[in-house]
Amino acid sequence: RPHCPALHRLVLWQPVNKCSFRDLSGHSLRLTDEDVTQVQLVLDQSFKESTLRSYASGLLVFHAFCDSRSVPEDQRTPASPDLIALWISTIIGSYAGGTVNNYTFGVRAWHIIHGVDWRMKEPELDALIWAAEKLQPVHSKRKKHQPYTVAFIEALLNNLNHEDPFDSAVISCLTTAFYSGARLGEFTVPRLEDFRARDHVTRANMRLSVNKNGFEVTVFHIPKTKAEPVNGEDMYWACQNGATNPKSALDNHFQVNNPSRDSHLFAYRHKKNGREILRPHTKPAFLSRLAKAAKSQGLEPLQGHGIRIGSTLEYLLRGLSFEVVKVLGRWKSDAFLVYLRKQTKIMAPYMQAELHEAFLAYTMPPVRCESTAYFSGYPRSLDASLYSFCIGDRS
């Protein structure tokens, strides 16, 4: 097991029992080591870099356990269900349930990449992961994500300088992420060295869309997202009233920083070694600045996912139908409904003895939109007027 970067660990840590490539008759194929490595590298690319780092940590913990128990190398692949169960049971209570789950799937991915059978039975694995959730350390439990609100964002803006290169980029990134219902990672990069124009949003990826009624939306194409790593996805917002208007924030950012077409959309001017460069906007730097702004206003800093949650709640509270919000936020499932259970204000209109006619027009039954070309993977029926307003006519 050579010393290597975590990103390469699943490939470079070769198991003793490797896959032998055979034809349909069972005869061994004459492949070079380079051929085998190529297959493994391609399989490795099916995982995101952040996932590979997490999986690599799991593989390290697994081998550390095996070393401590003097488990022979040839018993580690394929790992027997009993060995995997014993290993998981020893780390339960030391890590968060989600971490145990990721570590386990890291060992599974290692088996897959090297063509070794994964023999752990799903019911037993599910039971162990459930136990890991129940027995996780108290300190490892994350605080519940509290939603950003328009009022909270306005308070943050009081501590951010619109003329400062970094602050102006933070303001624009925050308002764009909020009003487009985006995941924060879709408009930021994990680290400075991670930015790639082919994977991340740039100024060249934005456009203006106007429908036949004159409603304008600004559209951002993200080349690679969590849900669509190959084709990417479009995100969009319309002008808003007040200090949190994303268009005003974006215009100001472009005036202050003027990122090039191939630069990160929220890149900002930064001095390095006596010269000025455009620096990609990283998620840690973004959250750190917002936390500082919140504390200066006497507020508790919120987590990044709270932006997406807050966006969902904001649009629901405005009276947009559930289906429109689901499309706007690109929710593939009904996971966003968990936020409804905690917001009585959203559910209140649906529970009244008499519903206003205008409110019913937004909820049930929705008008069928004539064009359904834009709804791959989404509900096919939407309020046509709201649909046009939210994303505009792309014809």
* pLDDT tens, residue by residue, 271-310: 888 889 999 999 999 999 999 999 999 999 999 889 998 8
pLDDT at 16 over 90: no
Phi, psi of 258 (to 5 degrees): 45, 60
pLDDT at 233 over 50: yes
pLDDT at 47 over 90: no
Q: What is the pLDDT of residue 279?
A: 95
pLDDT at 81 over 80: yes
Mean pLDDT of the region 123-136: 91
Mean pLDDT of the region 193-221: 92
Asked if 250 and 236 count as a contact pair (C-beta separation under 8 A), the reply is no
Q: What is the pLDDT of residue 373?
A: 41
Q: Place 29 in a pLDDT band, splitting at 50, 70 and 90.
A: low
Residue whose C-alpha is closest to residue 282's, from 194, 365, 355: 194
First-residue to last-residue Cα distance in the chain: 55
Angle between helices 122-134 and 97-113 (to 10 degrees): 150
Q: Place 379 in a pLDDT band, splitting at 50, 70 and 90.
A: very low
Number of Cβ within a 10 Å radius of residue 272:
8
Q: Place 90 in a pLDDT band, splitting at 50, 70 and 90.
A: very high
Q: How many helices (H) and strands (E) does the chain have?
A: 15, 5
Q: What is the pLDDT of residue 357?
A: 56
| 110 three-state secondary structure | helix
- 45-52 contacts: CB < 8 A, separation 24 or more? 47/109, 48/226, 48/229, 49/7, 49/190, 49/194, 50/190, 51/102, 52/6, 52/7, 52/9, 52/10
H or E segment to which residue 247 belongs: helix 246-257
* Residue found by looking up tokens 């870099």 in the block: 49
Asked if 247 and 255 count as a contact pair (C-beta separation under 8 A), the reply is no
Q: Which of 10-19, 30-39, 45-54, 61-70 has the lowest mean pLDDT?
A: 30-39
H or E segment to which residue 104 belongs: helix 97-113
pLDDT at 68 over 50: yes
Between 229 and 346, residue with greater pLDDT: 229
Q: Can you tell me the distance from the alpha carbon of 250 to that of 176, in angstroms, rounded to the nearest whole number?
A: 8
Q: Can you tell me the distance from the alpha carbon of 345 to that of 324, in angstroms, rounded to the nearest whole number?
A: 18
Asked if 79 and 119 count as a contact pair (C-beta separation under 8 A), the reply is yes
SS3 readout for 288-353: HHHHHHHHHCCCCCCCCHHHHHHHHHHHHHCCCCHHHHHHHCCCCCCHHHHHHHHCHHHHHHHHCC
Between 388 and 208, residue with greater pLDDT: 208
Q: What is the pLDDT of residue 23?
A: 62
Q: What is the pLDDT of residue 395?
A: 37
Q: What is the pLDDT of residue 374?
A: 40
pLDDT in tens, 328-343: 877 776 666 666 555 6
pLDDT at 35 over 80: no
Q: Can you tell me the distance from the alpha carbon of 17 to that of 362, in angstroms, rounded to the nearest whole number?
A: 60
Q: What is the pLDDT of residue 336?
A: 64
Mean pLDDT of the region 159-185: 96
Mean pLDDT of the region 88-101: 91
Cα atoms in the Cβ-side hemisphere of radius 13 Å centred on 264 = 28
Q: Place 321 in a pLDDT band, splitting at 50, 70 and 90.
A: confident
The rounded percent of the chain whose pLDDT value lies above 90 is 50
Q: What is the pLDDT of residue 38?
A: 75
Tokens of 326: 């689901």
pTM over 0.75: no
H or E segment to which residue 384 belongs: helix 384-391
